[in-house]
Amino acid sequence: MSVPVEQALAALEALADPAKAADMAAYHKSTRRFYGVSVPQIDDLTDQWRAGCTLEDRLALAAALWAADIHETRIAAAKLLTQARIRPDDEGAWVLIQSWLPDFDGWAIADHAMIAGQKRLVWQPDRIATVEGWTQSPQMWTRRAAMVITLPFAKKNNPKPEETAIRERVLGWAASYATDPDWFIQKSVAWWLRDLSKHDAARVRLWLEEHGAKLKNFARKEAAKYL
């Protein structure tokens, strides 16, 4: 049974906490509407909705919740598509996630959307060619998304040859980002390198020898945190 978007919106609004919403808006420095609903509460709702929806219904609900442009509805949209296996994993979920990129204007919603994207990329790694195009976007959040969506490839202890190739590809993007002055881009590079250092410290040391001097001090220190 499909879940009407009006029903989903009502379920989220029923959990609203105006005081928490005000605190969240201040923390995220956003003018977007907030309900003040926690992520675990959103998880509970989206688990219920996902169980009662076909994939087609779920894609439609995710699109409608994203379009509602409330903080929690966009988190819920991403949560609906955060699943290791989506069958059939055709272009439906992948295309919808990509369509959200131009709307990114803060890290929280962007990261939830990219966690959903990580599942789709890991399932079909050849999608990396599409992600590479994001690195040339004039929008900072889209460029940053390329680093966030590829994080699973930094976390593998014994990567397959094709996964190692993706890892090297992303390290090339990181090198091109090293001189980017934006804090969030610098942070995304540091985050990627820090995670990789837990699994391949030697490769991170080599990258830092070649490119580390171009990073801002905070990013260089973060990247080397576990070395």
141: which 2 tokens?
Answer: 């959040």
Question: What's the pLDDT tens digit per position in 166-216?
Answer: 999 999 999 999 999 999 999 999 999 999 999 999 999 999 999 999 999
Q: Decide: helix, strand or coil at residue 88.
A: coil
pLDDT of residue 1: 55
Residue 170 to residue 176: CA distance in whole angstroms: 10
Contact 90, 29 (CB under 8 A): no
pLDDT band per the 50, 70, 90 thresholds, residue 51: confident
Question: What's the pLDDT tens digit per position in 157-176?
Answer: 999 999 999 999 999 999 99
Residue 160 to residue 122: CA distance in whole angstroms: 12
Mean pLDDT (whole number) for 108-121: 97
Helix or strand run (H / E) with residue 21:
helix 18-28
Helix or strand run (H / E) with residue 162:
helix 161-177
Q: What is the DSSP string of 48-69?
A: HHHHT--HHHHHHHHHHHHHH-
Per-residue pLDDT at 217 exceeds 60:
yes
Q: Where are the alpha helices (DSSP H) in 52-160?
A: 55-68, 71-80, 91-99, 107-123, 128-134, 140-149
12: which 2 tokens?
Answer: 């989220």
Q: What is the mean pLDDT of the chain?
A: 96
